[in-house]
Amino acid sequence: MEMPSDRALVRGFKGGDPEALLAIYQRYKTYLLSVAMATVCDLDRAEDAVHDVFVSLAQKRREFRFRGNLKACLAVAVVNRTRDLLRRQSIRTAASLDPDAPIISPSAVPEQTAMLNEQCRKLAVALGHLPAVQREVLVLRHKAGLPLREIAKVQQTGISTVHARYREGLKTLRAMMNGELDDDTGR
């Protein structure tokens, strides 16, 4: 059975079909959770953000405007929601991801799985130590695939500021991943 396109799902959703919203949720929930996790580094908050986006979507289905890429549109909504959650809860520093959470690939041999787990753990810790605005730029660029101009609109700042955040975030991540900076202090 052929899966309906995003455009067809949005049409059904806007027309009041609850199955269409469920299909959108099922298609993108894992991806959106990974976007939220990369942004807030906390599973509970990430799940809250994703669910809040879909509740809001259901409540405002008539006002929902679909232009372009549904996946990117939902990712921006999740990032905005995580930003709201962080702001509301007055969290100034990112929480760490669970370093013991396994990353499992059914095709990987045990040695590869162990290496991937360690690399993912290091990346999660490094992302958690970035300032929120830099982390957000990296997540929107690499997870949502947004161009830097769009990210500037989302963050309501200039393109040069987004470029600087992007460059500095990548530089810091590379340094942490290569062991040049201490994971705990970011220095």
What are the sequence ranges of the domains in the chain?
1-94, 98-187
pLDDT < 70 stretches in the chain = 1, 89-120, 180-187
How many Cβ atoms are within 10 Å of 121's Cβ, its own excluded? 19
Domain range 98-187, its CATH number among 1.10.10.10, 3.40.50.150, 3.90.1150.10, 1.10.3720.10: 1.10.10.10
Measured CA to CA, the distance from residue 82 to residue 35 in angstroms comes to 10
Give the pLDDT score at 163. 93
CB 155 within 8 A of CB 149: no
Structure pTM?
0.65
Measured CA to CA, the distance from residue 187 to residue 176 in angstroms comes to 9
CA distances from 22 to 19, 28, 38, 128 (A): 5, 10, 24, 31
Give the pLDDT score at 113. 60
